[in-house]
């Protein structure tokens, strides 16, 4: 049970970093920047690659996708947060 609790805690930490990155993409979309998160490199850019392919400056469709994605990520974070406390 402890191992499962630690695993869900690690997943919560990994998923917990995504909302801020997605918010950065949303802000760049609203500002009309041609390319989102230009200073982002490494693993973070690799994780967000599927979302970055959907990027279009000032696009309502892209903005909607990012808003739904951030809601899904926060639900996943809540799920992992609940299970990390329930298992330990």
**Res 66: pLDDT:** 95
Q: Among residues 38, 30, 36, which one has the least CA distance to residue 54? A: 36
Inter-CA distances, 11 with 14, 40, 43, 44, Å: 5, 21, 16, 15
For the chain, what is the domain count?
Answer: 1
Q: Rounded to an integer, what distance in angstroms lies between the CA atom of residue 28 and that of residue 8? A: 31
The per-residue pLDDT for 6 is 84
With a CB cutoff of 8 Å and minimum separation 6, the contacts of 12 are 77, 80, 81, 84
pLDDT confidence of residue 30: 93
Average pLDDT of adjacent 10-residue blocks, the chain of 88 residues? 84 90 93 89 86 90 94 93 74
pTM over 0.85: no
pLDDT of residue 73: 95
| pLDDT given for residue 87 in this prediction | 57
Q: Residue 10 is part of which domain span?
A: 2-87
Cα–Cα distance, 34 to 83 (Å, whole number): 40
């Amino acid at each position: 049970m402890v191992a499962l609790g630690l695993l869900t805690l690690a997943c919560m930490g990994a998923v917990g970093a995504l909302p801020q990155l997605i918010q950065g993409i949303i802000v760049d979309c609203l500002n009309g920047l041609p390319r989102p998160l230009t200073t982002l490199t490494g693993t973070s850019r690799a994780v967000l690659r599927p979302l970055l392919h959907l990027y279009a400056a000032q696009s309502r469709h892209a903005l909607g996708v990012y808003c739904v994605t951030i809601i899904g990520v926060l639900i996943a974070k809540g799920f992992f947060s609940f299970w990390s406390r329930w298992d330990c």
